[in-house]
Amino acid sequence: QAIAAIEASQPIHNAYTHVDAEAVLAQAQQIDQRRAAGEALGALAGVPVAVKDVLCTKDMPTTCSSRMLENFRPPYDATVVEKLRQADALIVGKTNMDEFAMGASTETSYFGLTKNPWDIERTPGGSSGGAAACVAAGTVPLSLGTDTGGSIRQPAAFCGITGLKPTYGRVSRYGLVAFASSLDQVGPLAWSAKDCALLQDVIAGFEPRDSTSLDVPTEACFAATQSADLRGMRVGLLRQSLDSEGVDAAAVQAVLDAAKVFTDLGAEIIDIDLPHRKYWVPTYYVIAPSEASSNLSRFDGAHYGHRAKDDNGNEINDLVSMYCKSRGEGFGDEVKRRIMLGTYALSEGYADEYYNKALKVRRLIRGDYDAAFNDVDLLLGPTTPTSAFKFGEKVDDPVQMYLCDLFTVGANLAGVPAMSLPAGFDQLNLPLGIHLHAPALQEARLCQAAA
Ligand code: GLN
């Protein structure tokens, strides 16, 4: 069914960069045989799952939607991919994304636009636009995305589905092609909070090959979603977000409606403020490009990835020319912009003014969350200021595109888990998302409240 749905959807939505139908059907048959033989199967036995093309898969390409990695086949699986296989999931393919996960609309992909299934003139959000669109289009019930500044939650909101960014360190980053290592997390996208919780339980856990992986017991998120009793839970309402400039009235109403539902279920709503919120986007857009400029230095044309030829199609012998031409051809404009911004922010004479200052502000932002979570158990606000925007609306104006992350980057800077869930529609009949934050390692509480 998934393969048939993908074949119907792909010409319209272009959510996938790679699907190998025969390989998937062969795996499905193997699982069926094991089931028939009475073997105990994993938690996701036979469930089709799509994987964002930034996660390494040894039997499929891993392109990061970049010309740089157009022909790259990793020799190993990312830990999360290993875990999917151990759970007997069927990995149906890889999904389209903004190049190297830099963007909020999937428009920077080398492999073309992904269309929002709710309105194909609109973006699915990004950078995990394919991972959200493939679920929203009904091709698979679950997918894996990654979130550095909102890339799971914003596309989930734009596509009317649920997405979870776990606590930093909760899910292994081994085999995730790094964008900004201190912010990146892998997480689930699905129709419902329960389905997200099920996938989160499969991918979470300590793993020594990621030096930032947290060596703490995981929580049972799916089990937590079975209770709808929120009595005694204190939910902090981010009033300040509702009053921000450019926030659509429908997005505000969706949050207020959700607050009412929480109250009806026994939770208490308390207004709360994160005082340094206005510095979130500027801080993120210093730290993320800085880390990106360092991480992306590995794509030099020598080790792997695209290697440019000279005008006659021959190898370029001069090393510096080979680097420059390979990177010049291999990377798109947004990636180059980030590399230049990051290199500047880290350079001698400017690092104190930009990168080191951003690190200090990041501490203040974390402090805001610590203080808030002394008073409340969860935070509630909008995921995005508006519903999905049209293609071309923001792609030529980087600052407008960066402002898509207004409400989401705080969770990455603080390392706390956050989730977007569907919360109705605006006047254009486009889906809206609401956004919940929880304290570090409280994914179970988050999934319970979301469910
Ligand atoms: N939109 C943000 C950016 O462009 C976030 C991307 C992400 O989370 N990968 O950096």
Instruction: Give the ligand 1 atom nearest the CA of 285.
Output: 10
Residue 424: count of CB within 10 angstroms of its CB: 15
> Which of 66, 106, 148 for a ligand 1 pocket mutation test, highest count of atoms within 8 Å of Cβ?
148
> In angstroms, rounded to a whole number, what is the distance separating the alpha carbons of residues 440 and 450?
16
Q: What is the pLDDT of residues 32-91, one digit of tens each?
A: 999 999 999 999 999 999 999 999 999 999 999 999 999 999 999 999 999 999 999 999
Q: Which of 378, 380, 369, 377 is nearest to 259 (CA)?
A: 380
Architecture of the CATH domain 2-224: Alpha-Beta Complex (3.90)
CB 414, CB 373: distance < 8 Å: no
pLDDT at 304: 84
pLDDT at 245: 85
pLDDT at 229: 87
The yes-or-no answer on residue 52 being catalytic is yes
Residue that has been written with the tokens 């999917």 in this structure: 84
Q: How confident is the model at residue 332 (pLDDT cuts 50, 70, 90)?
A: very high
> In angstroms, rounded to a whole number, what is the distance separating the alpha carbons of residues 321 and 325?
6
Give strand pairing partners of 185. Answer: 147
Which 3-state string (H, E, C) describes 304-330? Answer: CCCCCECCCCCECCCHHHHHHHHHHHH
Question: What region does 422 belong to: left with phi over 0, alpha with psi -120 to 50, or beta?
Answer: beta
Q: What percent of the chain has pLDDT over 90?
A: 96
Give whole-number Cα distances, 116 to 103, 153, 165, 449, 450, in Å: 15, 15, 21, 27, 23
Q: What is the pLDDT of residues 116-160, one digit of tens each?
A: 999 999 999 999 999 999 999 999 999 999 999 999 999 999 999
| Dist. CA 296 → ligand 1 center (Å) | 15
Model ipTM over 0.95: yes
> In angstroms, rounded to a whole number, what is the distance separating the alpha carbons of residues 342 and 181?
14
Mean pLDDT along residues 183-208: 98
> In angstroms, rounded to a whole number, what is the distance separating the alpha carbons of residues 412 and 149?
6
pLDDT at 409: 98
Instruction: Evaluate the CA torsion angle 377, 379, 380, 383 in order and state its sign.
Output: negative
Q: What is the pLDDT of residues 289-309, one digit of tens each?
A: 999 999 999 999 998 899 999
* Domain spans of the chain, in order of start: 2-224
Q: What is the mean pLDDT of the chain?
A: 97
Instruction: Give the ligand 1 atom nearest the CA of 179.
Output: 9
- Residue with the smallest CA separation from ligand 1 atom 10 is 102
Which 3-state string (H, E, C) describes 222-277? Answer: HHHCCCCCCCCCEEEEEHHHHCCCCCCHHHHHHHHHHHHHHHHCCCEEEEECCCCH
| Dist. CA 326 → ligand 1 center (Å) | 24
pTM: 0.98
> Which of 151, 337, 435 for a ligand 1 pocket mutation test, highest count of atoms within 8 Å of Cβ?
151
> In angstroms, rounded to a whole number, what is the distance separating the alpha carbons of residues 419 and 193?
9
pLDDT at 244: 87
Mean pLDDT along residues 156-184: 98
Residues near 393 by beta carbon (within 8 Å), at least 6 away in sequence: 400
Question: What region does 408 belong to: left with phi over 0, alpha with psi -120 to 50, or beta?
Answer: alpha
**Annotated catalytic residue within 65, 105, 127, 387:** 127
Distance of CA 24 to the CA centre of its chain: 24
**CA terminus-to-terminus distance, the chain:** 27
Give residues (CB < 6 A) around ligand 1. Answer: 101-104, 127, 147-151, 179, 288, 405
Q: What percent of the chain has pLDDT over 70?
A: 100
| Dist. CA 183 → ligand 1 center (Å) | 10
pLDDT at 59: 93
The yes-or-no answer on residue 58 being catalytic is no
